[in-house]
Amino acid sequence: MRAIARFISGRGTAWVVLGLSVVAIGLLFALLPKGSSDSYPESGLPDSSEAAQVSALLEQFPSADSTAAILVYDRGGDALTDADKAAVTASAEALASDSIAPQAVVPQFSDDGTAALVAVPLDAAEVDDDVQAAAERIRTTAADGLPDGLTALLTGPLGFQADIGNAFAGADFRLLLVTVIVVAVLLIITYRSPVLWIVPLAVVGTADGLARIVVTSLAEPLGITVDASIAGILSVLVFGAGTNYALLLVARYREELTRVDDRHRAMLTAVTSAGPAIAASGGTVALSLLTLLFAQLAGNRALGVACAIGVAIAVLFALIVLPAALVVCGRGLFWPFIPRVQKDAGVGTEHKGVWMRLGRGVQRRPAVVAVVATLGIAALALGLNGGRVGLSQTDQLIGDPDSVVAQRIVDEAFGAGLTGQTVVLTPDAAVADATALADGVDGVVSVRAGESHDGLTRLDLTLDAEPQSDEAFTLIQTLRTDYASSPAPLDQTLVGGNDATALDENTAAAADQALIIPLILAIVFLILALLLRSLVAPVLLIASVLATFFASLGASNLIFQNLMGFPAFDANVVLFAFLFLVALGVDYNIFLTTRAREETVAHGTREGMVRALSSTGGVITSAGILLAAVFAVLGVLPVVALTQIGVIVCIGVLLDTLVVRTVLVPSLVFLTGDAFWWPSHPARRGSQARGNKLEA
């Protein structure tokens, strides 16, 4: 690696590297096909899922090309007047002109007289071509001519799809803008320079732009779908990880500039010293992300591929483009605090006092510090008591979009499951038995026989449960169990629809979590063991990160339930939070312990840790705060799952940066001593080397 670093940081070759990088990046931007991200996330269920089987079979039915818009009319809970009812009837007649089944577009009034409902069958192909335009057309038609105070709200499949699309509308620009502002402000504060921040921000921003193009251009060949949520997480991850790597490199470069006059030599030392830690950190994140290739849900696989590519690009930019750009710009880039050579320059010159004192304090009472830190983390983890996983359909968006408000009105005025879609496919010979069985299940309100195709008949069920709620899932499971335990041919009956799809997604997410989490832990352990040449250190570091993960979940659960009103975690949030927290949390431990091992050779294990904490404390703390702030940016989107990921990772990174890496890991090193590096003995080798030098 030293030869490559010498070429990147060389007096003339740095210009060559920078020039070639600009040309290569420009060509990639110009020549790669410009793909696009879908705004609406797909379920991506495996073919073995019963809901997926029903969806595939329904595509062969005559009504496969239809969807529905459901309009809900109400007056804020007050009873509808005669004029209101006449207006609703006229509105239904107007909506019928846009329907593929005009005769089916008739108003249905609630028993309490407070609401009306109109279902409008639509051509699915036309809707899919432009969901927002279709939704706007229906909303405009429904609202035309209504009396003052009477509102028409769109819900059902079209309504929820349109509102989810609106939630992601402009997501790329909003996320990018807020992320850039957050990163710029924090870099200015960190570097205390009106100039220096521009270079790392420009490099990381270019890496993000290139990552987006590479991912979208590879999406089709790789068979993945990149939706707006994946694109948003990709940007946040590239900016967060890329800026972290930039902070580490710049800090080491600045440190070396206080030791030597030649900035090229200083950059050579910085790249060779920080480069392995950056590469190992990026490799840990990328390999952890690639474990998602084993996931059942296609969306998880797509996220893994996309973000792994993004992290790899961020690492390349941090180790190639950024060093060349910094060394070309010279020392003046650090103005007004330009680093000068100091005769007594030691490690951690900028933050040496604060972090050295902290290290000494932990060294004096490592057992007390370890116990207090552990108890504090455990106390936060207790917040998981009462935590639930799985959100209903109306809980998945923040705020009150039309589809959510309308669904609540339907739940109160008509019954919770009226707009839910539960579809049963049964053999033609078993229609009567399938209908009777469903009618006998407590919670099934009605069963309607529909069309038949290729020996199967469709039954549409209405459940007395809120869509995608625990009650709805229990009814789906009961139906499936009862049908599967029935005699032939009734046992061939399949249960699908929206609630069944959500249930199967939750089941697949749980299976992915059970498989992926052990794989991530194995990868992290292997990388740490190879990097640190130790078997004890990886165990302690992984244990500390796991403790951080559970503490952040507990703290987040308290915030979600008591402050933000989220009743549960989204099904995929736990896995994604674990992935980002463990992979990124280990980053800081890698930065700290690799430096500690380097210092151990010269000063011994305990003194080496104090010096490592002294030299890396400031930059790692800055990096952690910046990464936490960047992930918090996900909260600008009105999607509960992304907000939850942002909050959990933000809390976890701050805990890891300010508590685990700052006091807990050092205290564990002080307690274990040289055994921390077992079976290697860097302190012994350093002592032997110093002895040989003295003898010589």
Instruction: Give pLDDT, residue 47.
Output: 85
- Structure confidence at residue 170 (pLDDT): 61
Residues 90, 95: Cα–Cα separation, whole Å: 9
Phi then psi dihedrals of residue 312, to 5 deg? -60, -40
Listed range (178-187, 276-285, 527-536) with the worst mean pLDDT: 178-187
pLDDT of residue 10: 86
Residue-wise pLDDT for 296-334, tens only, equals: 988 889 999 999 999 999 999 999 999 999 999 988 888
From the list 693, 674, 685, the residue with the least C-alpha distance to 602 is 685
pLDDT of the residue at 557: 94
Main-chain phi, psi angles of 583, to 5 degrees: -65, -45
Residue 83 has pLDDT above 90, yes or no: yes
**What's residue 417's pLDDT?**
62
**Given a cut of 60, is residue 43 above it in pLDDT?**
no
Place of tokens 């009150």: 400
CA 29/CA 363 separation, integer angstroms: 51
- Per DSSP, what are the bridge partners of residue 423? 460, 496
| DSSP structural state of residue 469 | S
Please compute the mean of the pLDDT values over residues 532-557 and round it to a whole number: 93
**pTM given for the model:** 0.83
DSSP label of 80: P
The secondary structure of residue 389, as a DSSP letter, is B
Least-confidence region, from 21-35, 194-208, 220-234, 641-655: 220-234
Residue 561 CA to chain centroid, in angstroms?
20
Give the separation between CA 84 and CA 78, rounded to whole angstroms: 11
**What is residue 36's predicted lDDT score, i.e. its pLDDT?**
58
Best CA proximity match to 288, nearest among 581, 673, 51 = 581
Per-state percent for the chain, helix, strand, coil, to nearest 5: 70, 10, 20
Question: For the residues 473-479, what does the mean pLDDT come to?
Answer: 94
Mean per-residue pLDDT, 2-22: 88
The pLDDT score that the predictor gives to residue 408 is: 84
Half-sphere exposure of 375 (CA within 13 A, CB side): 6
Higher per-residue confidence, 54 vs 637: 54
Segment 160-176 mean pLDDT:
73
Task: Give yes or no for residue 695 having a pLDDT over 50.
Answer: no
In the prediction, which pLDDT does 35 show? Answer: 63
Question: Which conformational region is residue 117 in: left (phi greater than 0), alpha (psi within -120 to 50 degrees), or beta?
Answer: beta
What pLDDT score was predicted for residue 686? 55
pLDDT band at 5 (very low <50, low <70, confident <90, very high): confident
Residue 533 makes CB contacts below 8 A (sequence gap 6+) with 677, 680
Which residues, at least 6 apart from 203, have a Cβ–Cβ distance to it below 8 Å?
242, 246, 317, 318, 321, 322, 325
Greatest mean pLDDT among 34-43, 173-182, 653-662 lies in: 653-662
At residue 346, the pLDDT reads: 47
Per DSSP, helices labelled H in 322-365 are 322-329, 352-364
Instruction: Find, among 639, 632, 653, 654, the residue nearest to 582 by Cα.
Output: 653
- Can you tell me the distance from the alpha carbon of 56 to that of 128, in angstroms, rounded to the nearest whole number? 17
CA dist 162 and 277 (Å) reads: 45
Average pLDDT over residues 582-609: 86
Q: pLDDT tens, 331-371?
A: 888 888 888 887 654 444 444 578 888 999 999 999 999 99
Residues 150 and 76: their CA atoms lie apart, in Å, by: 8
Q: Tell whether the model's pLDDT for residue 248 goes beyond 80.
A: yes
Whether the predicted pLDDT of 212 surpasses 80: yes
Higher pLDDT pick, 226 / 418: 226
pLDDT at 41: 54
Q: What's the confidence (pLDDT) of residue 432?
A: 93
Which segment of 229-238, 285-294, 496-505 scores lowest on mean pLDDT? 229-238
User: Which band of pLDDT confidence, cut at 50, 70 and 90, is reported for residue 469?
Assistant: confident
Average pLDDT for the chain? 86
Buried b (16+ CB within 10 A) or exposed e, 174-204: ebbebbbebbeebbbebbebeebbebbbebb
Cis amide bond preceding 489, omega within 30: yes
CB-based burial of residue 693 (10 Å sphere; 0-12 exposed, 13-18 middle, 19+ buried)? exposed
**pLDDT of 694 strictly over 50:** no
Token couple for 168: 């992601």
Q: Summarize pLDDT for 484-503 with one digit per residue, the tens.
A: 999 999 999 999 988 898 89
* DSSP 8-state class, residue 420: -
What is the per-residue pLDDT for 420?
66
